[in-house]
């Protein structure tokens, strides 16, 4: 990934600091198309879950977080609401808070005063998505130094020099770590540890629980998760020039207990041939395309993973049902 000389000032409201925005170059469209077509041509077609998030996909995910069946978001929020003072005690004052996958920045904003944050760095796939949220937050926290970085860290996490020197607290909530396989999670945590520069990681992790609760959370009766998954096909059509017809595909989500993960797939309802310029793939009726893993961890296994990544002095907090955990770990 090359860096664009694109540090720009966002907006302008006199009398208030304005957040800076920095975009690290996206992969070029040809590379994205090649990656997607290679995934489609694989014996079991597999597409990275990051392609669930086009503009509509992001809105659908936001709707998922409001579903009664989708417990992770509200369970994690309840842990933060209850345990924030204890977390602040463990972490001490946070000079730089780096929010990985910041979105609307709401989760991090709840930490600012308890953690006495001086510098807030929001990282998400596109800096322009962050502009509005950061400008809004800057009005509420005029003294806070704010930087928005557009960066795809799903393959590799290297933060630009603009984040500044000194220890950082990396914040990675929402159990997004669950969308990595355990090996990928370990590699990511090792990179995160290096980026802490002597600081800490605060990370949300979804825990193992009964299959019926997990499967309902990923296959809700309203069909929002199904729409989220099937919408990926529209995104693929735009990015890779494929001709998927959504009506021919259904959403499938189930617990793979051996791998301790929910798997999402798209299943062909009938035989279908998907074409693109220069190629095609035939799917038999019932054949699946793998679109997401969402790993569920046991507290002790995740603690071991953090230690293997080089973190120490671990602490964790859970809700009363032990459905979700927030870990603090020092680099
Ligand atoms: C973003 N990520 C943590 C969500 C999850 O629970 O794995 C994505 C999601 N997929 C289906 N529902 C929500």
Counting atoms of ligand 1 from 1, which one is nearest the CA of 294?
A: 7
First-last CA distance in the chain: 26
Distances (CA, A) of 110 to 146, 164, 195, 316: 15, 23, 23, 18
Quick one: pLDDT band at residue 16, thresholds 50, 70, 90? low
**Mutate which of 222, 266, 292, 325 to test ligand 1's pocket (most atoms within 8 Å of Cβ)?**
292
Distance from chain centroid for Cα 185: 12
pLDDT score, position 246: 97
Residues in the chain: 331
Query: In the beta sheet, which residues pair with residue 152?
Result: none
61-98 burial, b for 16+ CB within 10 Å, e for fewer? bebbeebebbbbbebbbebbeebbeebbeebeebbbbb
The more confidently predicted of residues 302 and 278 is: 302
For residue 52 and ligand 1, the question of a CB distance below 6 A is answered with no
211-231 pLDDT, tens per residue? 999 999 999 999 999 999 999
**Mutate which of 61, 260, 295, 323 to test ligand 1's pocket (most atoms within 8 Å of Cβ)?**
61
256-277 pLDDT, tens per residue? 999 999 999 999 999 999 999 9
Instruction: Say yes or no to pLDDT of 27 above 90.
Output: no
131-177 pLDDT, tens per residue? 999 999 999 999 999 999 999 998 899 999 999 999 999 999 999 99
Quick one: pLDDT band at residue 61, thresholds 50, 70, 90? very high
Q: What is the 3-state secondary structure (H, E, C) of 137-190?
A: HHHHCCCCEEEEEECCCCCCCCCCHHHCCCCCEEEECCCHHHHCCHHHHHHHHH
| Strand bridging mode 249-256 / 145-150 | unpaired
Both tokens of 160, joined, read 């630009």
For residue 263 and ligand 1, the question of a CB distance below 6 A is answered with no
Going by C-alpha positions, the residue among 320, 251, 244 that lies closest to residue 275 is 244
Predicted TM-score (pTM) of the model is 0.92
SS3 state of residue 92: coil
For residue 291 and ligand 1, the question of a CB distance below 6 A is answered with no
C-beta of residue 224 within 8 angstroms of C-beta of residue 216: no
Distance 294 CA to ligand 1 centre (A): 7
């Amino acid at each position: 990934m090359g860096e664009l000389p694109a540090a720009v000032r966002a907006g302008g409201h006199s009398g208030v600091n304005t957040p800076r925005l920095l975009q690290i170059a996206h992969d070029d469209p040809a590379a994205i198309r090649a990656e997607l077509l290679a995934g489609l041509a694989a014996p079991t077609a597999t597409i990275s879950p990051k392609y669930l998030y086009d503009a509509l996909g992001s809105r659908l995910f936001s709707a998922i977080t409001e579903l009664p069946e989708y417990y992770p978001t509200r369970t994690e929020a309840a842990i933060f609401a209850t345990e924030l003072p204890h977390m602040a005690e463990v972490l001490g004052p946070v000079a730089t808070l780096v929010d990985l996958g910041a979105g609307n920045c709401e989760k991090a904003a709840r930490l600012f005063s308890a953690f006495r944050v001086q510098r807030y760095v929001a990282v998400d796939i596109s800096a322009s998505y962050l502009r509005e949220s950061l400008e809004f937050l800057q009005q509420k926290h005029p003294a806070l130094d704010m930087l928005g970085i557009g960066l795809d860290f799903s393959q590799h996490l290297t933060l630009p020099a603009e984040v500044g020197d000194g220890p950082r607290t990396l914040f990675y909530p929402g159990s997004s770590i669950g969308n990595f396989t355990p090996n990928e999670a370990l590699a990511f945590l090792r990179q995160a540890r290096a980026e802490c520069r002597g600081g800490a990681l605060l990370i949300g992790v979804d825990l193992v629980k009964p299959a019926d609760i997990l499967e309902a959370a990923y296959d809700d009766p309203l069909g929002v998760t199904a729409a989220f998954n099937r919408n990926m096909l529209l995104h693929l059509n735009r990015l890779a020039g494929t001709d998927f017809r959504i009506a021919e595909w259904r959403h499938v989500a189930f617990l793979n207990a051996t791998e301790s993960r929910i798997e999402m797939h798209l299943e062909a309802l009938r035989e279908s041939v998907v074409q693109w310029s220069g190629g095609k793939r035939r799917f038999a009726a019932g054949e699946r395309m793998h679109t997401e893993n969402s790993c569920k961890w046991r507290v002790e296994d995740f603690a071991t993973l953090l230690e293997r990544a080089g973190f120490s002095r671990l602490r964790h907090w859970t809700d009363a049902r032990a459905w979700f955990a927030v870990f603090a770990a020092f680099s």
